[in-house]
Amino acid sequence: MGVWTYFRRNRLAIAGMGIVLLIFLMAAMCPLIVRYDPGDVRVDTKLIGPCGEHPLGTDHLGRDVLSRMLYGARISLSVGFVAVGISIAIGIFVGAIAGYYGRWIDAALMRFVDVMMCFPAFFLILTVIALLGPNIINVMIVIGITSWMGTARLVRAEFLSLKEREFVLATRSLGFTDRRIIFAHILPNALAPVIVSATLGVAGAILLEAGLSFLGFGVQPPSPSWGNILTEGRTYIFDAWWLTLFPGLAILITVLAFNLVGEGLRDALDPRLRGVRG
């Protein structure tokens, strides 16, 4: 049976995928869904609770929270996917080179990975963002270049296992270049754990971006993101509960959904777990 057959048996993973698709759809269609511009300041309607006119209420400047949440979803998802794309690309390259060539190249690259993993990631990101300046591009790049180490280790382990297989030995005997062997023959067979890692990494990147924005080092106002909506609502936590509840729930549900999809993919792609769950 195929991967999809095993994946769809996991009801939690299917539920997570449904939530992820719904969030994507709402973010893509937000201009058609929302009635107000996310930056439209209307002081006369500030701090109105959830009602028919404003389903998620308004903030301290009278901006519609639903509009800001949906446009913020675009930014949060963009940060998650671009950052993970950068980290996956770096991790695959480093892991593939280390696993394929081995010896001193492997030792040098893995020691570099060990050094990178010794730094507290969040504080390293804060330092770099403080130096470069807080904006969405810097957030994407910095999250990406500080989170590739786990992928590198996964890819290296797969390459160490696959490079001695018969099909690789056959390609070597045919005189194929190392680059072709690595990227055309071994890498496609090593992508299963990378796909799982990427799915879980998106959730981590979204959560990290929300944390940075909450502290003022991420996406800067007036651009909406779930993190800075939370920050703006912190001052009014007792008077306007909706300003913290709804973005907090959005972060929680989105991260949980991506994690459920990642766990489902891990179970479906791992033959050993198929047997256990089958």
The tens digit of pLDDT for each residue in 191-216 reads: 888 888 898 889 888 888 888 888 88
- Quote the pLDDT of residue 276: 46
- Quote the pLDDT of residue 258: 92
What is the total count of domains within the chain? 1
Residue 64: strand pairing partners = 58
- Quote the pLDDT of residue 91: 93
- Quote the pLDDT of residue 278: 46
- Quote the pLDDT of residue 236: 84
The tens digit of pLDDT for each residue in 137-194 reads: 888 888 898 889 989 999 998 888 888 888 888 888 888 888 888 888 888 888 888 8
Say how far apart CA 30 and CA 28 lie, in whole Å.
6
Say how far apart CA 13 and CA 24 lie, in whole Å.
16
**What CATH number corresponds to the domain at position 151?**
1.10.3720.10
**Burial (0-12, 13-18, 19+ Cβ within 10 Å), 25:** exposed
Expressed as residue numbers, the domain containing 188 is 3-277
User: Residue ranges of the chain with pLDDT lower than 70?
Assistant: 1-2, 270-278
Helix axes 192-215, 65-101, angle to 10 degrees: 130
